[in-house]
Structure 1
Amino acid sequence: MIKADFRNFCKKHLMSLSKKSNFEDKKTVAMLKREILHLKSKNILLYCPMEIEVNIYPLIYWLKKQRGVRIFIPYIEGVSFKMIPFRLPLVKNKYSIFESKKSLFYLTKIDTAIVPCIGIDRDFKRIGFGKGMYDRFFANLRFRPNIIFVSRKVIYSKQKITDKYDIDADIVLSNGCKLKRGINDRILSDRFYNIWSDCRY
C-alpha cells in the first residue's frame, strides 16, 4: 500500500510539472548526451516519452546522426516488452505509448539503458507505473548494461518501499541534477543544496 501511495504522489506531482518542463528537459537531455559520450555507448535502449516523462526525442534525433550508434526502444508484448530498433513511423499502442512497428530482430547486447522513472526509494530502486515491464525485461537479460534513470524531478522515498525484483540504477538524472549511490546506501548529489527539500516522501 505504501508503494502504491508513493506512486500516486509521484504521478500527481509530475503532472503538475508536465506543461512547464521544456527548459528542464533540455538540461536533462544535455546531461544524457555527456553520459553517453563518457560511457562510449554504441547500442542504447531508449523510450518514447509519455506526457509526464522527460522528452528525450531531441536525444534520439541527435543519436541518429552519430556514426556507429544503434538505438532501440521497447515494443510491448503482454506483461513485458521486447527491444526493437527505433524506426519511423511511430504508432501508438493500447497504452498510448509510441513505438516502432514490430520487426524480426535478434537481441543485441546493449551498452546503456535510459529508463524513465517517476520516483526512487532509499535503495536507489525505480518506482514506475506499476506494470513491472522493465523489471521483467531486465530480469531476462544475461548481462547488465549501464542503467540511467531519468525523471523530471527526483521524488525520493526515505523508506525502503521497493521489492527485490525492482531494478536499480547506476545514476539518476533529473533537471540538471545527477545522483549516484554512495557508501552505506547514501545518495550523493552534484548539487550543493538539499535536493530533498520539496520532493521527499
Structure 2
Amino acid sequence: MSSTKAELRISYLANRKALSADELNRRNALLLTRFIDFVQQQTQTRSLQLVHTFLPIRRQNEVDTWPLIHWLWQYGVSTAVSVTDTETNQLMHYPLTADTVLTENKWGIPEPVIQAQPTIDPTAIDMVLVPLLAFDRQGHRVGYGKGYYDRFLASCRPDCLTVGLSLFESVERITDVSDTDVPLSHCLTPSATVLR
C-alpha cells in the first residue's frame, strides 16, 4: 500500500499512542535484542566508536532508546545526542554520558544542558539511530515533518550507518518523497532487519 507522509503521520501517531504499556514494553524488548545482534554483526567488519541516538519522547510512545544506550556503553561505544537550534533549524551534537544533565525542550525531547563543551562534528559519527513514525521498503521515512534529521544525515560521512528504529513494520511505498529526503541504510523493527 502506498501513502503520503501526511496520511502516514496521522495513522502511525494514532497507532503508536494506542499501544498498551505491556505491548510497548514487549516491542521495545524485541528491538533491543535485534539492535544488539545488528551492532555485533556490524562490528565484525567496521569500527563503531561513536553512535548518535535520539532520546525518547515518552508522551509520544517513541522507541525507548535508553536500554540500547546502556548496552552501547557496556560494549565500549560512546554516544552522542542533539540539541535543537530552532533559530538555524539545525541539530547541534554533544556527548551523552551517564553524568549528562538533561532537560526537556518544548516538544518534550530530552536534551543535554549545554555548558561549555564543544560540539561533535557529524563526520565523527559512525552510526545514527533515527526516530521515525513510519518507513517504506526503499528506506524513506516519515518523521514529524520539520526536516531536522534529513539536514543532519546529509552532513554525515557516506559510510555512516543510518538506522531507523520502528515499533511497526514497513509500508510498501511513501509516495511524496522529496529530493532533500535522505534514505536510511537500515531499519530495525521488533521482527525484522530491513536493508535498503
TM-score (norm 2): 0.83
Identify if the C-alpha distance between structure 1 residues 66 and 142 changes in structure 2 by more than 3 Å, giving closer, same or farther: closer
Q: Which residue of 2 aligns with 1:84?
A: 94
1:24 corresponds to which of 20, 23, 27? 27
Contact between 1:3 and 1:161, CA under 8 Å: does it hold in 2? yes
Q: Which residue of 2 aligns with 1:15?
A: 17
Does residue 55 of structure 2 align to residue 48 of structure 1? yes
How far apart are residue 153 of structure 1 and its match? Answer: 0.7
Unaligned runs of 5+ in 1: 182-201
- 1:6-155 matches, cutoff 5 A: 6-17=8-19, 19=21, 20-40=23-43, 41-51=48-58, 52-67=61-76, 69-78=77-86, 79-87=89-97, 88-102=100-114, 103-107=117-121, 109-155=124-170
Unaligned runs of 5+ in 2: none
Contact between 1:47 and 1:115, CA under 8 Å: does it hold in 2? yes
Identify if the C-alpha distance between structure 1 residues 159 and 151 changes in structure 2 by more than 3 Å, giving closer, same or farther: closer
Contact between 1:49 and 1:56, CA under 8 Å: does it hold in 2? yes
Aligned residue-pair number: 180
Contact between 1:80 and 1:133, CA under 8 Å: does it hold in 2? yes
Contact between 2:28 and 2:167, CA under 8 Å: does it hold in 1? yes
CA distance in 2, matches of 1:142, 1:155: 25
Contact between 1:121 and 1:161, CA under 8 Å: does it hold in 2? no
RMSD: 2.0
Q: Which runs of 4+ in 1 moved over 6 A?
A: none
How far apart are residue 112 of structure 1 and its match? Answer: 1.0
CA distance in 1, matches of 2:143, 2:25: 21
Identify if the C-alpha distance between structure 1 residues 170 and 141 changes in structure 2 by more than 3 Å, giving closer, same or farther: closer
